[in-house]
Amino acid sequence: MKKNWKTLMLMGTMVLGMGLFTAGCGSSSTTADGGNGADKTYVVGTDASYAPFESMNGEKIEGFDMDVLSAAADAGGFKVQFQNTPWDGIFLTLKNNDRDIVASAVTITDERKKELDFSDPYFEATQMIVSKKGAELKTLAELKDKKIAVQNGTTGDEVVTKMLGKGSPNIKRFENMPLALLELKNGGVDAAVGDNGVVLEYVKNNGAGEFVTSVDSSFEKEHYGFVVKKGNTELQKKINDGLKKIKENGKLDEINKKYGFSK
Amino acid sequence: MFADIRWDALQEYFPLFLKGILMTAEITVISVAIGVVLGLFAGMGRISHNPIVRLIPNIYVGFFRGTPLFVQILLIHFAVLPAIFGKSPAAMVSGIVALSLNAGAYIAEIFRAGIQSIDRGQMEAARSLGLSYSQSMFHIILPQAVRRMLPPLGNEAIMLLKDSSLLAAISLPEVTYYAKLMAGKTYLAWEPYLTIALMYLVLTLLLARLVKFLERKYGTV
């Protein structure tokens, strides 16, 4: 009798578990439908800890990426709604249909193209090394046996990982760029590597005299693109149409100027 | 679903996971050890008859039990320790400090409960035989109390083992850190997270076994 109870309990647990699992799978289409379906509203994931590209102003997400994508959406005839999304796992939200677009200063790389689809580029960036005044580190070679802070899974992470290997104890990976830069400020690392726009903004706001920035000659030009789920060519085309229009009508230049990015 | 698990990616990152789980185990063992010492003193302090002696452990336990461990980790690594040392210490130092202090607060309560669960007649008998308070405490009360404390102590160790995953946020290279690294580079979720979940499970089951063994050897039943 006792044994029967055990079997019954086990089966009950399994049934319950499977029920929960399928329930979880069923509710994965979250794309908000805007009104009559004429202008579809797409949910856009962004890691709003990356000023000036995306940051929180009170409850509102704002920044360069928001301005560009909103303008492109206006021109392309669709609507967007921004959602703050942690960088760790941000691309998984596309795979899981939790977000339709990721607009988070994402560099277009061949590696990423294997798993994701990108829009046309809308911004040119480069990696930048930032170190403390008095202990300047200016080239990638100088970072060889130093402690370096990066944001996990970014192109900055990629360049130092390529040099030191992914298991290197000298690479300190953080969830977002502000934490990585805080670690540098607190002296826990000797340098940080990240996108130039963000690094410069941070240095500007956190003691301009305290830090030294530099670009290694080996750092390649990078381009930001908006990201959609692999195979979502319909949305990719809509974004590209919008981007093309705002590039032609000068709206993109206007936004660049607003943020002080010269061409 | 399981058919398209990327074994090749898993194989590539598995050595790092092994390295990470060793770090997880190391951090847990050190923190539990320090936590037991902290907890012993804080727990004894809390049952003192002197209100001034009670005050500090009361504040300590109140704070570390009443705030989230994640917040404590961020506070200690990015604010408290840099303020003390003038710069951020290694993540390992912050990690051990945060986990030990947190564990100490919970273990203090385990000690207090353990000591108070011993019949007061034991203390009275010891005192009437001429032992001092501290002699009675260390030779009569504590040995009996520790036996009763084994199950909750084991529980605390298991909790700490799991909670050490929060240290990934300060870039301490334990196993969750490496899983996030793999997820960040490969955009996979099942492979890294299910793998490390099983690794944690193996460790917690082993730990539970160890506690059971100790209970059978030294326990009350």
- In-domain check, residue A154: yes
A97, A114, A172, A210: which to substitute to probe chain B, counting the most B Cβ within 10 Å?
Answer: A172
Contacts of A186 in chain B (CB under 8 A): 78, 82, 87-88
pLDDT at position A26, please? 42
How many domains would you assign to chain A?
2
Q: How close A245 comes to chain B (CA, Å)?
A: 32
CB contact under 8 A, A175 and B169: yes
Q: How close A186 comes to chain B (CA, Å)?
A: 5
Q: What mean pLDDT is predicted for residues A191-218? A: 92
Q: What mean pLDDT is predicted for residues B120-138? A: 94
Which of A10-24, A138-152, A180-194, A239-253 has the lowest average pLDDT?
A: A10-24
pLDDT at position A244, please? 97
| DSSP codes joined into one string, B124-154 | HHHHHTT--HHHHIIIIIHHHHHHHHHHHHH
pLDDT at position A211, please? 94
Residue-wise pLDDT tens digits, B201-220? 999 999 999 999 999 988 76
Confidence (pTM)? 0.83
- What's chain B's average pLDDT? 94
Which residues of B touch chain A, with CB atoms under 8 Å apart?
15-16, 19, 78, 82, 86-91, 169-171, 173, 177, 180-181, 183-187, 189
**Together in a domain, A151 and A206:** yes
- What's chain A's average pLDDT? 89
Last residue of a domain, one of A197, A214, A231: A214
pLDDT at position A17, please? 63
Asked if pLDDT for residue A40 goes beyond 80, the answer is: yes
SS3 call for B29:
helix
pLDDT confidence band for B120 (50 / 70 / 90): very high
Provide the residue ranges of all domains of chain B, joining segments of one domain with +.
2-218
Asked if pLDDT for residue A11 goes beyond 70, the answer is: no
Residue-wise pLDDT tens digits, B9-33? 999 999 999 999 999 999 999 999 9
Q: What mean pLDDT is predicted for residues B101-108? A: 98
Asked if pLDDT for residue B104 goes beyond 50, the answer is: yes
Q: How far is CA A57 from CA A51, A70, A80, B116, B153, in A?
A: 10, 17, 18, 52, 45
pLDDT at position A206, please? 86
Q: Calculate what percentage of chain B has a pLDDT beyond 70.
A: 97
Sequence letter at residue B179: A
- In-domain check, residue A36: no
**Together in a domain, A108 and A158:** no
**Together in a domain, A132 and A114:** no
Residue-wise pLDDT tens digits, A134-143? 999 999 999 9
- In-domain check, residue A109: yes
Cβ-based neighbour number of residue B51 at 10 Å: 8
pLDDT at position A33, please? 44
pLDDT confidence band for A39 (50 / 70 / 90): confident
Which residues of A touch chain B, with CB atoms under 8 Å apart?
88-89, 91-92, 95, 115-116, 149, 152-153, 157, 166-167, 169, 172-175, 179, 182-183, 186-189
Assess: ipTM above 0.85.
Answer: no
**Together in a domain, A135 and A119:** no
The count of residues in chain B is 221
In the numeric block, which tokens belong to residue B154? 């084991």
**Together in a domain, A64 and A111:** yes
Which of A22-31, A167-176, A203-212, B2-11 has the lowest average pLDDT?
A: A22-31
User: Could you say which of A88, A182, A188 has the minimum Cβ distance to residue B183?
Assistant: A88
Q: What mean pLDDT is predicted for residues B185-206? A: 95
pLDDT at position A70, please? 97
Q: What mean pLDDT is predicted for residues A214-242? A: 96
Asked if pLDDT for residue B47 goes beyond 90, the answer is: yes
B88, B170, B194: which to substitute to probe chain A, counting the most A Cβ within 10 Å?
Answer: B88
**Together in a domain, A92 and A202:** no
Domain that holds residue A53: 41-124+223-258
Report how far residue B174's alpha carbon sits from residue A173's, in angstroms, rounded to the nearest whole number: 12
**Together in a domain, A254 and A184:** no
Q: How close A134 comes to chain B (CA, Å)?
A: 15
Which of A148-152, B65-69, B106-110, B143-147 has the lowest average pLDDT?
A: B143-147
pLDDT at position A6, please? 65
- In-domain check, residue A170: yes
Residue-wise pLDDT tens digits, A100-131? 999 999 999 999 999 999 999 999 999 999 99
In the numeric block, which tokens belong to residue B49? 């008859």
pLDDT confidence band for A35 (50 / 70 / 90): very low
Kindly report the three-state secondary structure assignment for every residue of B37-92. HHHHHHHHHHCCCCHHHHHHHHHHHHHHHHCCHHHHHHHHHHHHHHHHHCCCCCHH
pLDDT at position B43, please? 95
pLDDT confidence band for A160 (50 / 70 / 90): very high
In the block, which residue shows the tokens 């830090």?
A: A211
**Together in a domain, A58 and A184:** no
pLDDT confidence band for A13 (50 / 70 / 90): low
CATH number, domain B2-218: 1.10.3720.10
Contacts of A166 in chain B (CB under 8 A): 16, 181, 185
- In-domain check, residue A57: yes
Report how far residue A2's alpha carbon sits from residue B81's, in angstroms, rounded to the nearest whole number: 56
Q: What mean pLDDT is predicted for residues A229-256? A: 97
Q: What angle do CA B159, B162, B166 make, to 5 degrees?
A: 115
Residue-wise pLDDT tens digits, A49-68? 999 999 999 999 999 999 99
User: Could you say which of B78, B86, B187 has the minimum Cβ distance to residue A92?
Assistant: B187
What CATH number is given to the structural domain containing A86? 3.40.190.10
